[in-house]
Structure 1
Amino acid sequence: MYCPQCDDEFRAGFLTCPDCNVALVHGKPSQRVSYTPAEAEIRLKQAPVAILGTLPQGPALQLRDNLLDSGVDCVLTREGGDCGPSGCGPASFHLLVHSDQVEGLKEQLNARAEAYAQAHGMASKADMPNCPCCGYDLTANDDECPDCGIAIV
């Protein structure tokens, strides 16, 4: 079973998508296109790209894989290049996408995060003065944490 709105798949026993609050459909999504990182990198070399966000390695890999599974070309680049002479610190990665997709993807990701937060009784952006990931003090205008790069919903 899958959600016809977000294409997430569910095991037997679920009737509605908890994120979208939409009734699930039997079968599998029919038009799902999945790319490998290498295929996406080749296509991104042929078009202007922009940074969708800068994230720590774990969340960056997860978001990249989710976008690739949704048919969105994206690639990760390490922020700041190689390690310094004193060793490697926690790495951050830029998530690059086609430049004409940045605003639409940000809106989709923020809307999905807001729907998830509401469905699970989590605090929204207005209720969080600190970053939930690293604790950075945020302002009311922050859409992402200036310290760790996570999107603030």
Structure 2
Amino acid sequence: MPYCPRCRSEFRSGFAVCANCEIELVASLDEVEPEMTEEAMGEYLAARDLVTIASADLNRLKPLKNLLCQHGIANIVLEPDGGCCASGGCAPKLELAVAANDIERAAEVLRADFQDLVALNADETTCKDPSAWTVNLEGGEVICPACETRIPAGVAECPQCELYVGVPSEFLAEEK
């Protein structure tokens, strides 16, 4: 039975390419490098500047964490300073962080996953241009992948659709 080396899905005989990952299948997962362990990820990330790429409860972060791991991007779930809110009555918000030098790869993986989620059915005729879903890392502004609104530097949510897009770590350092 062939397997996808990235998502580790099993296929019936006769298939050569994973439809989701668009890469060639291998005969056995033994041929594939093992996924990075939590310990190895921790060591890799300990020596690097971290950037938060998502903030949510654990149930929402787990699929994103697994997706990044499948693409070989080290990541870690952190508890933000200050807890959730003043009353303490809300569900805990956690942060998913990657090394600053991996942010562009992580953004591309998450962008592609989001694009797959909102892809049109065959009977629909128009779609937003995925090339518009870009991040302007130099200016700090981002383009919302959901509604294409320009989001000012240092703002965590889209002002139009309220999608959380995160705040680059350099803006968090300025606030303290």
Question: Aligning the two structures, in what range does the TM-score lie when normalised by the shorter sequence?
Answer: 0.5 to 0.7
CA offsets 1:3-47 (integer angstroms, 9 cap, x no match): 35xx122234373423145553321151233211x5423432211
2:133 — aligned with what? none
| Residue 36 (structure 2) aligns with | 34
User: Who is 2:10 aligned against?
Assistant: 11
Is 1:121–2:121 an aligned residue pair?
yes
Q: Deviations over 1:42-80 (max 9, x none)?
A: 432211111122233212122223434544221112345
1:51 partner SS: strand
Q: Match for residue 90 of structure 2?
A: 89
How many corresponding residue pairs? Answer: 137
Superposed, which structure 2 residues align to 1:101-112 within 5 Å?
101-112=102-113
Higher relative contact order, chain-length normalized (CA < 8 Å, sep 6+): 1
Aligned in 2, Cα 1:92/1:115: closer, same or farther, shift over 3 Å? Answer: same
Cα shift at 1:148? 5.4
Q: Percent identity, please.
A: 16
Gaps of 5+ in 2: 130-145, 167-176
After superposition, the C-alpha distances for 1:68-97 in whole angstroms (9 at most, x for unaligned) are: 454422111234533556333133322111
Q: For residues 86-132 of structure 1, what are the alpha-carbon distances to aligned partners after superposition, in whole Å with 9 as ceiling and x for unaligned?
A: 333133322111101101211122124424654x73989739xxxxx
Q: Does 1:55 align with 2:56?
A: yes
What SS does structure 2 have at the residue aligned with 1:54?
strand
Indicate how the Cα distance of structure 1 residues 70 and 108 shifts in structure 2: closer, same or farther if over 3 A, else same. Answer: closer
Distance of 1:86 and 1:125 partners within structure 2: 42
Look up the match of 2:164.
149
Distance of aligned partners of 1:148 and 1:61 in 2 relative to their CA distance in 1, 3 Å threshold: farther
Write the letter of the residue equivalent to 2:87: S
In structure 2, give the amino acid aligned to 1:87: G
Q: Secondary structure at the match of 2:128?
A: helix
Where structure 1 has 5 or more consecutive residues not aligned to the other structure, the ranges are 128-137
